[in-house]
Structure 1
Amino acid sequence: MANTTVPEVFATETPEATVEIDAGAGKHVEPMLWGLAPYQWVSISMLVLLLFAFFGAKVHKTIAGGLDGKIAAIKQQLDEAKQLRAEAEALRKEYADKIAGAEKDAEAMLENAQHEADAILEKAEADSKAMVERRKRMAEDKIAAAEREAVEDVRNRAALAATSASRKLIGEKHDAEADKALADKVIAGI
């Protein structure tokens, strides 16, 4: 024989908290939680659900409004980033143009410096030729002056030698009588 036992029913509340319903055939006891019957719990749940749906819709609007605000802020940041990028591109182009201009200026300056260096070199060569020519003339003038001095000195020495030789010859060949006759002749010529 099978063990036939009747299952036990555990009540969650004490028997005072149960409501008896007379259905005619037997007594049925409804369970209760914190003094509320199941239909009351269903009513409270529906009320909470309706309140959540009502306020939840407002929360949804608030969340949607916040998200829309964030989207607008992100769009504004993107627009600012596009504007900054355009400004950066313009600055980059401007500086690239400045660099190209600076390179052209540098090339022009280099060419100008080369021309100036060539001109300075030509002038230096001309100046050095002129200086060599001046020094050559100065040397020639010094040589000519030295020649003149040497010729003058030779003449002076020759004159001195001739004077002393003539003095000697005159001294030897002329005496007092010849001097007297010469002096008379000179005086008579005057």
Structure 2
Amino acid sequence: MADTVPEVFTTEAAEAYTEEGHGGAPTHVEPELWGLAPFQVVSVAMFVLLLIAFFGAKVHKTIGGGLDARIAAIRTQLDEAKQLRAEAETLRDEYAAKIKGAEQDAEAMMTNARHEADALLAKAEADSTAMVERRKRMAEDKISAAEREAVEEVRNRAVFAATTASRKLIAAKHDAEADRALADQVIANI
């Protein structure tokens, strides 16, 4: 081979690699790739290209079929996801309505409880006022009964004292003669 290194860009014509052949005459040397001549490299390349085209089409169909199946599975999953999302939104709306209803029920219950508590408080105040009035009347009745009893007792004692005193006076000042005159007078008045 020649000692010169080919330049990538040259303005001069590239020199052909030559070897000295038989008898010193130069011979043209063809480039080789893995020990194959250029027409053989082209033949192998065409053969590989045809194999790729033949089997590649089948592989392409297999890959395409697999991708189509995967796309169909993904579409099915997306449809299921859309359906689940719609169901979830329906459930969310339903529960939001239930929560709103529960809040309104709770508010109504609180209002009702306040009204009942106010009514119970008013009733308790009225009952306690009535009870105080009853007890006051009972105390007044007991006081008046005690006064009546005291007055009655004073009267009874006064009557007893008066009868005792009158007996003593009558016994001391009246004798049998005065009793007869008094009895005659009472009989005459009848």
Q: Same fold by TM (over 0.5)?
A: yes
Deviations 1:150-180 (A, max 9, x none): 1110011111111221222223223xxx236
2:155 alignment partner in structure 1:
155
Same amino acid, percent of matched pairs: 72
1:97 alignment partner in structure 2:
97
1:167-186 pair list within 5 angstroms: 167-174=167-174, 178-179=175-176, 182=179, 186=183
The one-letter amino acid paired with 1:132 is V
Aligned partner of residue 88 in structure 1, secondary structure:
helix
Aligned partner of residue 170 in structure 2, secondary structure:
helix
Between the aligned partners of 1:154 and 1:183, the Cα distance in structure 2 is 34
Range with bigger deviation, 100-109 or 147-156: 100-109
1:14 alignment partner in structure 2:
none
Between the aligned partners of 2:37 and 2:71, the Cα distance in structure 1 is 49
Q: Does 1:60 align with 2:57?
A: no
Between the aligned partners of 2:37 and 2:134, the Cα distance in structure 1 is 137
Q: 1:7 to 1:48 in 2, by over 3 A?
A: closer
The one-letter amino acid paired with 1:76 is T
Between the aligned partners of 1:182 and 1:172, the Cα distance in structure 2 is 12
Q: Which stretches in structure 2 are left out of the alignment for 5+ residues?
A: 1-17, 22-35
Deviation of the 1:60 alpha carbon: 0.9
Q: Which stretches in structure 1 are left out of the alignment for 5+ residues?
A: 1-5, 10-35
Q: 1:54 to 1:73 in 2, by over 3 A?
A: same
Deviations 1:123-163 (A, max 9, x none): 11221221122112111111111111011100111111112
Q: Would you say how many aligned residue pairs link Structure 1 and Structure 2?
A: 166
Q: Which has the higher contact order (CA 8 A, sep 6+)?
A: 1
Q: Which TM-score applies when normalising by structure 2?
A: 0.68
Q: CA RMSD in A?
A: 3.8
